[in-house]
Amino acid sequence: MSAILAIIGRDLRLAARLGGDALTLVLFFVMVGAVVPFAIGPDRVLLAQLAPGIVWIAAFLSMLLGLDRLFRADEDDGSLLLLRHAAIPLEAVVAAKLVAHWLLTALPLVVASPILAVLLAMDQATWVDTVLALLVGTPALTALGTIGAAVTVSLKRGGLLAPVLILPLCIPVLIFGVAAIGAPEGSNAAFLFLSAISLVSVAFCPFAAALALRVSGE
Amino acid sequence: MAPIPPPPPALLMGSDLTLTRGGRTLFEALTVRLGAGEVLVVEGPNGAGKSSLLLTLAGVLHPDSGRVAGAEADAPHLHFLGYGAAVKTRLTVAENLAFWRTMYGPSGIDAAAALDRVGLAHTAELDAGVLSAGQTRRLGLARLLVSRRPVWLLDEPTASLDAAGSRLVAEMIDAHAAQGGGVVVATHEHLPLTANHRSLRLGAPQ
C-alpha cells in the first residue's frame, strides 16, 4: 500500500513542480467549450440543448490528448524498467499511475466545468448532473487510456496513436455520459450504466495495460 | 564413495539462452549460472549483446529459446542498473532515493546512510537535475543499497564515474558478494574486484 501511495505522491509532486503542464489540458477543455458558441451561433436555447454533448466532447478530447504522458516520462528515464521489479506487481503500479493521472487530468476538468456551464448557458441542475457524470465517467476514460498508453509507450513518436487506438472503446462512455446528463427526473439507468462501465474498466484495464508494458520491451 | 553433494541453488539461472535481435544472433545456447557470493563479469566489444544479456536475465527481453529462473519464482529478487538513470530531475536527491526505497522495499540501509556511502550526502536536498552524470550514476548505486535484493545486474556501472567511483563500484560488488549476493556486471573497464569472480566473454554477433 505504501508503494502505491508513493507512486501517486510522486506523480502529484512532479506535476505540482512542473506547473503548467496540467493546466494546458484544462485550457484546451475550456477552449473547446468556448469556440462552440461561435460556431453554432448565439442561440441560447440550442446551446443549452447541446451543452451536455459539448462538455463531454471537450472532456473526451482533452483527456485523450493527455494520455501520452501516462507512461512516457517513466519510460524515457528508465523508471518503467525498474518498476517491473518493484515489491508490488506491475498491475498495482499501473493502477497507482491511473489514480494519479485521473487526479491530474480529470479532476481539474470537473473544477473548470462551471466556466463551460456559463459559456454554454447551462442551468444549475444540468451543471450538477454534468459534474456527477464527469466524476463517474472519466475514470473509465483514464482506465481505457492506460491500455492505449501502454501499447504505444515504446514508440518514440506514438503521441497521437494511443487516442486513436482507444477511441472506439471510449464511445460507450460518451453515449452514457451524455445520456446521464439529459436524463429526465427519476430515470437514472444511463447513470448506472456509466458507473458500471467505469467500475469494470478501472478493475480490468490495469491488467491489460501491465501485460502490454511487459511485452513492450521487445 | 560418498555421494556428490547437490550444488547450492543458484540465485539466478539462465539456461540454454538464444537471443536474436535485428536478424543477428547475439548469443546461442548460452547458460549462465549465478550462485551465492559469485560475480560474473560480462565482457565483449560494443554490440556484442552485453546489455541484451542483462535485459534477458532481468526478464525484460524474452529469449528465442531457453529460460531464466530466479531462486524464488515470481518474488522480486533483483536490482537492475542500466543506462536509464530512473531519476526525476525535479525531485530532490533524497526524494528520488526515498521513492525507490519504498518501491523496492525498505530492506537495506537507510537512505541517508546510502547517500553517505556513495558520496552524495551533501547533495541530499538539491534537485536531482543539477547532479552531474557521474553523481547521477552514484545516486543509482545508492538505490542498490537501500533495498536488499540477492541479484544485482549492472550494465556499465562505472560509466561516467571517476577513479574513486570505479573503486566504489568494486567495493560495493565485493561487499554484496561477501553477504551472499550475486552480481552480473557488464563492463569495459577493469574492476579491481577481490570477490570470487568469473568472466564471460561475448563474441561479435553473427
Which tens digits make up the pLDDT trace of B148-196? Answer: 999 999 999 988 889 999 999 999 999 999 998 899 999 888 888 887 7
Q: Which of A144, A158, A141 is nearest to A206 (CA)?
A: A144
Kindly state whether A154 is in contact with chain B, defined as any CB-CB distance less than 8 angstroms.
Answer: no
**Residue B64: closest CA among chain A residues belongs to which residue?**
A218
Cβ contact A77–B95 (<8 Å): no
Cβ contact A78–B83 (<8 Å): yes
Span A168-180, mean pLDDT?
Answer: 92
Which of A13, A76, A86 lies at the smallest CB-CB distance from B103? A86
Specify the higher pLDDT residue, A85 or A199.
A199
pLDDT grade for A94, boundaries at 50, 70 and 90: very high
Record the cell numbers describing residue B181, joined without a space.
Answer: 549476493
Which of B58, B76, B84 lies at the smallest CB-CB distance from A86? B76
Which of B76, B85, B100 lies at the smallest CB-CB distance from A77? B85
Kindly state whether B60 is in contact with chain A, defined as any CB-CB distance less than 8 angstroms.
Answer: yes
How far apart are the CA of A195 and the nearest CA of chain B, in angstroms? 31
**Residue A73: closest CA among chain B residues belongs to which residue?**
B88
pLDDT grade for B2, boundaries at 50, 70 and 90: low
Cβ contact A87–B86 (<8 Å): no
Q: In this structure, which long-range contacts are made by residues B189-197, counting pairs with CB atoms below 8 Å and at least 24 apart in sequence? A: B189/B158, B191/B41, B191/B158, B191/B166, B192/B166, B192/B167, B193/B39, B193/B41, B194/B170, B195/B37, B195/B39, B196/B37, B196/B38, B196/B39, B197/B38, B197/B39, B197/B40, B197/B41
Q: How many CB pairs under 8 A join A and B?
A: 70
Kindly state whether B129 is in contact with chain A, defined as any CB-CB distance less than 8 angstroms.
Answer: no
B24: pLDDT strictly greater than 90? no
Domain residue spans in chain A?
A: 2-217
Query: What pLDDT is recorded for position B83?
Result: 81
Q: What digits encode the pLDDT tens for the residues B101-128?
A: 999 988 889 999 999 999 999 998 999 9
Q: What digits encode the pLDDT tens for the residues B30-69?
A: 888 888 888 999 988 888 888 889 988 888 888 888 888 8
3-class SS at B28? strand
Measured between alpha carbons, how far is A102 from A146 in angstroms, rounded to an integer?
Answer: 11
pLDDT grade for A102, boundaries at 50, 70 and 90: very high
Kindly state whether B88 is in contact with chain A, defined as any CB-CB distance less than 8 angstroms.
Answer: yes
Residues of chain A neighbouring B91 (CB-CB closer than 8 A)? 10, 13-14, 17
3-class SS at B183? strand
Q: State the pTM of this model.
A: 0.90
Domains, chain B:
35-68+150-206 (3.40.50.300), 86-148 (no CATH)
Contact, B93 vs B115, CB < 8 A?
Answer: yes
